[in-house]
Amino acid sequence: MKSTLPEILAPAGSPECLTAAVRCGAAAVYLGVEEFNARRNAHNFTIATLSEAVAYCHARGVAVHLTLNTLLREDEIDRAVEVAVQAAQCGVDALIVQDVGLCRRLRAVMPDMALHASTQLSCHTPEGVKFLRDVGFTRVVLAREMSRAEIAACADLGVELEVFVHGALCMSVSGQCYFSAMLGSRSGNRGACAQPCRLPFEPTRENPRPCPADRAALSLKDNCLVSYIRDLTDLGVASFKIEGRMKRPEYVAAATAVYAAAVRGETVSEAELERLKSVFSRSGFTDGYYTANRDGGMFGVRRHEDVTAAAPVLKELAHLYEKETPLVGISLSLTVSEVESRLAITDGDGRTVTVCGDGGVIATNRPLDPARAEEQLRKTGGTPFYVTEVSCAIGEGLTMPMAAINALRRQALEELVAVRSAPSPIACDISALPPTLACQAPSKPKCVARLANARQWSEELTADAVILPLSTDEDAIRAIAAKTAVGVEIPRGMFGQEENIRKQLAKVKEAGAVFALCGNVGALPLAKEVGLTAVGGFGLNLTNREAIAFYAERGLDAATLSMELTFGQMRRLTPSPLPVGVMVYGHQPLMLTRNCPRRCAGGSCGDCHGQGITDRTGTAFPVMCSGGCAEVLNSVPLWWGDKMDEIPPADFHLFHFTVEDAGRCAAVLAAYQQGGKPPAAITRGLYKRGVE
């Protein structure tokens, strides 16, 4: 019988980690193959070893979720579909997907496969959850930065929820980090993150205090929600996810065992928590996001004492998974007649195997005692099974050797393992394609200026359209709308603000706004609800034509291409199902984070006033806070004003203004229009060098 308890979903970055997870109580594991998974540096699996892993897990009643959770380029979609088909033939239970273009293709190729929306889709609002539900995802992995109240608001919406309960916290909202890509061409969205956030960053000197020695401005402690498992269960969360596909098996064993015990309602001792902290932590654990206590105490680094604490507990933790754990309940029925002996074993899923042997013989001394036979049948040690019930029907006066009973038991258990291990392929039609949408070549590009505030606008700003923050005063919108087309930017971080955003959208539309920039899956339905034209922002991470078609089918009217594409890769996306744009200027956002990095030194979100953080070389990265979130910006602006002829065809050019004043904004646009020389310190972004 299937458990009604929430699922413990454990990481399996290697076969040994998979064994540790299964033997320590995981109801499901998640793992990747060599391609298209967000932990490319984990051991990972091949298709051949994936088949073995699925068989091993299914024999023990454990589900397998395969991660296909990276962004895909135009030339990678077909191969990703092939990998998904191979995984479906292995019998995996679900695919974890980030790229909505891949989602679109998989829904056509394998409509019966369970698709889980990766946390890389940055979903953190009820409208986002409903949007992903309606496009075919059966589960949504929520953003890690959500509070209890925000998780509760996403429950009971007709789709399973998965919540990270333990492990490393990225400083950035997943899917919204471009730091590693911009600094070293290693994209977190493609599984190659170099983790620059774990390096020492400090608030700029205007901050009265530096970060303490056990903190860094972009490094958070590991998440630990074991104390809230009952609470999360009551909210209706279906799956509790443990981070750690790059971690060692002892970590997987410790974390899985602790959370499995908590799910069963057992008390987790301080000693167990301390052991879990010893095997891996960064200055301890935090529950700051769940409790909404987002302060400096959430920050932590991997100290020397954290590293040395692991050694004494590793051997102890290895014992947790050194032996087979009986996970599957079975009932046995032995029948002995003079003609034959027959043993039937039934598991909790209703599968039955029956084996037969020689019949019993008339006993010369004592007939076979049913209690003695049951004792032998209950000996299932070293197998995945434990016995729940035994019945014995032995013909009158008959007996048979214990060795024969043991042989029946061994044969039946082996056959049951084989039956449970056999793959259950999902039906696939690799030739099936989603509908073809009409495409159009780009027109002459329009100039769109995204402003951080209305003060950056002036009549010298020669743009075809202006994007203002959603929080902009309605009078300011009216004044600017009288001069040019005005749109508003829906915040990429909408944590707990959905109703306020809905009301504000109605107000700005009345004031004259005609379109909305949507950088999150939850923003699009809000824009369409009030009748605004919806333009996709860079935060949607559009890297292939299928992804553009996905959003075109759901009401998006135009789209900004990913900043992680090269110009050559962009050219492959036109003609396109939607008008597309390219960001051509700006201090590009490197991170969207819910915890302002300046808090590591005891500051509060909103005290930045144009300040930011510095790295160990003294390079300064501006930080801009608004709406409860912070954006870390690149230290120098993207610039292509002197090489406009190299920019691929596009319907609009996006100028992403942040720290500039009104005069500078106007001067930048004029320089682009006149082909002026670039400033001394610029970046060409990733448009030439690309990312891994």
641 and 671 Cβ atoms separated by less than 8 Å: yes
* The pairing of beta strand 139-141 with beta strand 114-117: parallel
Sequence-ordered list of residues with C-beta below 8 angstroms from that of 687, at least 6 positions apart, any chain: 565, 566, 567, 570, 640
| Residue type (1 letter), 435 | P
- Report the pLDDT value the prediction gives residue 1, as an integer from 0 to 100: 37
Q: Is 605 left (phi over 0), alpha (psi -120 to 50) or beta?
A: beta
Question: What pLDDT shows up at residue 263?
Answer: 97
pLDDT at 532: 98
- What does the chain come to in residues? 692
408-417 as b/e, with b when 16 or more CB fall inside 10 Å? Answer: bbeebbeebb
What count of Cα atoms within 13 Å lies in the side-chain half-sphere of residue 100?
Answer: 25
Domain(s) labelled CATH 3.20.20.60 in the chain stretch across 446-589+637-674
Rg, the chain, Cα only: 29
Beta strands 580-586; 361-362: pairing state: unpaired
Tell me the C-alpha to C-alpha distance, in Å, between residue 581 and each of 342, 533, 689: 71, 15, 19
CATH 3.20.20.380-classified regions of the chain? 7-169+220-321
Task: Give the pLDDT of residue 444.
Answer: 93
DSSP codes joined into one string, 95-127: EEE--HHHHHHHHHH-TTSEEEE-GGG---SHH
Cβ atoms 483, 459 nearer than 8 A:
yes
Cα 9 from Cα 229, distance rounded (Å) = 13
Q: Which residue's entry shows tokens 């009217």?
A: 557
Helices (H), 161-241: 179-184, 229-235
pLDDT at 39: 75
pLDDT computed for residue 675 by the predictor: 84
CATH class name, domain 446-589+637-674: alpha beta
Q: Which residues contact 592 (CB under 8 A, 6 or more apart)?
A: 122, 172, 173, 176, 177, 492, 493, 539, 629, 630, 631
pLDDT at res. 677: 86
Task: Report how far residue 471's alpha carbon sits from residue 454's, in angstroms, rounded to the nearest whole number.
Answer: 10
Q: Which residues of the chain have pLDDT under 70?
A: 1-3, 38, 42, 206-208, 603-610
pTM: 0.96
DSSP 346-361: EETTS-EEEEEEEPPE
Task: Give the sign of the dihedral formed by CA 10, CA 15, CA 17, CA 20.
Answer: positive
- The matching CATH number, chosen from 3.90.870.20, 3.20.20.380, 3.20.20.150, 3.40.50.800, for 7-169+220-321 is 3.20.20.380
Task: Give the distance from CA 278 to its chain's centroid.
Answer: 26
Q: Spell out the residues 6+ positions from residue 103 whose beta carbon is closer than 8 angstroms to its own.
A: 97, 115, 135, 136, 137, 550
- The pLDDT of residue 305 is 92
Q: 356 φ, ψ to 5°?
A: -125, 150
The Cα 168–Cα 240 span in angstroms is: 14
Phi, psi of 55 (to 5 degrees): -60, -45
Half-sphere exposure of 429 (CA within 13 A, CB side): 8
241 token code pair: 């996810």
Q: What is the SS3 string spanning 420-461?
A: HHCCCCCCCCCCCCCCCCCCECCCCCEEEEECCCHHHCCCCC
By the 10 Å C-beta count (0-12 exposed, 13-18 middle, 19+ buried), 561 is classed as buried
